[in-house]
């Protein structure tokens, strides 16, 4: 069938690589960073596996890092869309603020992350290519025109900005990246990540986090590498990683507490599956979530939780589907495809205190897709579109 028909449904579910616009990587080789800043002071070294992790906190109740190349690939599945659209539509200030810092949201952002850095708020960071880091001050001027930013250190500014609960004190720091040497070429998204020159840290955006020194909050290189390896170990192949993270102790279901959670979404390249082949993709999608619970749950309890979660999803989607009712068989086929992914792509494993929730597109077989594909093709013909 025509590739464009399934883009709207699959783009939200699968960050597989289609025919995306090229993003800059290097001016030498694919394993050499571009325009690396001169390191005459503090710097940060990413963790390099078969994916890049830009920052790892040494102690945090939760942490997550998203790969922008993965996100961009998903957005480019729909022709005409740009990764920057989701950000520039949030506020009319975003585009001129980024332009003031000479940052191209479609090419210069490589990762976005956050971690629990204070009791009442998160800290955020962005790995980006900065042509002139000092222009970040100009970005703050555009973003908060009512207050002049003050420079209180090297590439460190503070600005007072209005918020929901009153005035906020926002700190922005840019820390140059000290890239480790690379002798191998990994996934294309890994190579794209080498375009980053700095990690930009933002504190005080939500809640009174105060001034958090990111270098003091960062895990040492050995601990950071061990943490990333531990989280990535729950997927067979972490190449093409879209995000990873972990969560500490937290209340779970009644009578149960979450001791720890770790999660990874990866889209390794090299072999497609029946679903991703519909997009002419050479990737497959693998989402793994491991929950360590106290006390250890039994299988019957887990089955009840899963049934409850499925019921919640069905209840939540019912009004959404009702809004599209009567809009033709193509919409109904899309909903059927979504239900098939949720049912056939999901597995769970219970071992003692550890409950693993797994979603993989390669579990959806060609025969399972056949009936949905036939419905989509029939709907296309009714609409005068040749499949």
Q: How far apart are CA 374 and CA 387, in angstroms?
A: 10
207-228 average pLDDT score? 89
Q: Which domain holds residue 103?
A: 18-220
Q: Are residues 163 and 30 in the same domain?
A: yes
Give the model's confidence band at 293: pLDDT under 50 very low, under 70 low, under 90 confident, else very high. Answer: very high
**Residue 385: per-residue pLDDT:** 62
Render pLDDT for 338-366 as a digit per residue (tens, 0 to 9).
788 888 999 999 999 999 999 999 999 88
305-331 average pLDDT score? 77
Q: Are residues 137 and 275 in the same domain?
A: no
273-294: string of b/e by CB count within 10 Å (b at 16+)? Answer: bbbbebbebbbbbbbbbbbbbe
Q: Are residues 302 and 381 in the same domain?
A: yes
What residues contact 293, with CB distance under 8 A and at least 6 apart?
252, 256, 257, 258, 259, 353, 354, 355
Q: Are residues 278 and 150 in the same domain?
A: no
Residue 337 lies in a domain: yes
Say yes or no to pLDDT of 78 above 80.
no
**Which long-range contacts does 130-134 make (Cβ < 8 Å, 24+ apart)?**
130/37, 130/101, 130/102, 130/103, 130/174, 130/197, 130/198, 130/200, 131/35, 131/102, 132/102, 133/37, 133/174, 133/176, 133/197, 133/198
Q: Which of 9-23, 238-252, 301-315, 352-366 has the lowest mean pLDDT?
A: 9-23
312-335 average pLDDT score? 71
Q: Are residues 174 and 237 in the same domain?
A: no
Q: Are residues 75 and 183 in the same domain?
A: yes
Among 12-26, 140-154, 176-190, 349-363, the range with the most confident prediction by mean pLDDT is 349-363
Q: Are residues 130 and 212 in the same domain?
A: yes
Q: What are phi and psi of 287, to 5 degrees?
A: -110, 120
Helix pair 366-382, 329-344: axis angle to 10 deg: 170
Give the model's confidence band at 16: pLDDT under 50 very low, under 70 low, under 90 confident, else very high. Answer: very low
**Residue 184: per-residue pLDDT:** 66
Residue 4 lies in a domain: no
CB of 11 within 8 A of CB of 261?
Answer: no
Render pLDDT for 151-178 as a digit per residue (tens, 0 to 9).
999 999 999 888 777 788 889 999 999 9
Q: How far apart are CA 75 and CA 57, in angstroms?
A: 29
CB of 242 within 8 A of CB of 267?
Answer: yes
Q: Are residues 28 and 93 in the same domain?
A: yes
pTM (2 d.p.)? 0.84
More confident residue, 24 or 271: 271
Q: Are residues 61 and 169 in the same domain?
A: yes
CB of 372 within 8 A of CB of 336?
Answer: yes
CB of 271 within 8 A of CB of 279?
Answer: no
More confident residue, 385 or 287: 287
Q: Are residues 51 and 152 in the same domain?
A: yes
Chain mean position to CA 357: 18
Q: Are residues 199 and 248 in the same domain?
A: no
């Amino acid at each position: 069938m025509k590739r464009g028909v399934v883009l709207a449904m699959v783009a939200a579910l699968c960050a597989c690589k289609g025919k995306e616009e090229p993003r800059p990587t290097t001016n030498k080789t694919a394993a050499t960073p571009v325009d690396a800043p001169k390191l005459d002071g503090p710097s940060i070294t990413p963790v390099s596996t078969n994916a890049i992790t830009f920052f790892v906190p040494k102690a945090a109740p939760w942490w997550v890092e998203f790969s922008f190349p993965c996100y961009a690939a998903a957005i480019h599945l729909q022709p005409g869309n740009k990764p920057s659209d989701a950000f520039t539509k949030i506020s009319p200030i975003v585009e001129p603020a980024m332009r003031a810092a000479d940052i191209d949201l479609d090419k210069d952002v490589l990762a976005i992350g956050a971690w629990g850095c204070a009791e009442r708020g998160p800290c955020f960071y962005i790995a980006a290519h900065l042509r002139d880091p000092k222009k970040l001050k100009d970005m703050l001027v555009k973003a908060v025109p009512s207050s002049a930013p003050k420079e209180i250190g090297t590439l460190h500014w503070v600005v007072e900005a209005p918020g929901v609960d009153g005035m906020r004190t926002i700190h922005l720091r840019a820390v140059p990246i000290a890239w480790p040497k690379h002798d191998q070429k990994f996934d294309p998204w890994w190579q794209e990540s080498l375009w980053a020159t700095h990690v930009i840290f933002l504190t005080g955006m939500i809640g009174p986090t105060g001034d958090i020194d990111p270098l003091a909050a960062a895990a040492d290189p050995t601990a950071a590498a061990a943490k990333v390896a531990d989280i990535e170990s729950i997927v067979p192949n972490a190449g093409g990683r879209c995000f990873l993270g972990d969560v500490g102790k937290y209340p779970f279901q009644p009578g149960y507490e979450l001791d720890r959670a770790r999660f990874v979404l990866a889209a390794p390249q090299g072999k497609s599956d029946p679903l991703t082949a519909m997009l002419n993709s050479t990737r497959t999608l693998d989402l793994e979530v491991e929950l360590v619970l106290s006390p250890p749950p039994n299988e019957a309890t887990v089955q009840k939780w899963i049934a409850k979660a499925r019921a919640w999803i069905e209840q939540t989607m019912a009004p959404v589907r009702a809004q599209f009712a009567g809009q033709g068989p193509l919409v109904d086929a899309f909903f059927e495809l979504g239900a098939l992914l949720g049912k056939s792509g999901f597995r769970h494993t219970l071992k003692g205190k550890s409950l693993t929730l797994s979603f993989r597109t390669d579990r959806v077989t060609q025969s399972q897709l056949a009936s949905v594909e036939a419905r989509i093709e029939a709907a296309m013909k009714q609409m005068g579109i040749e499949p």
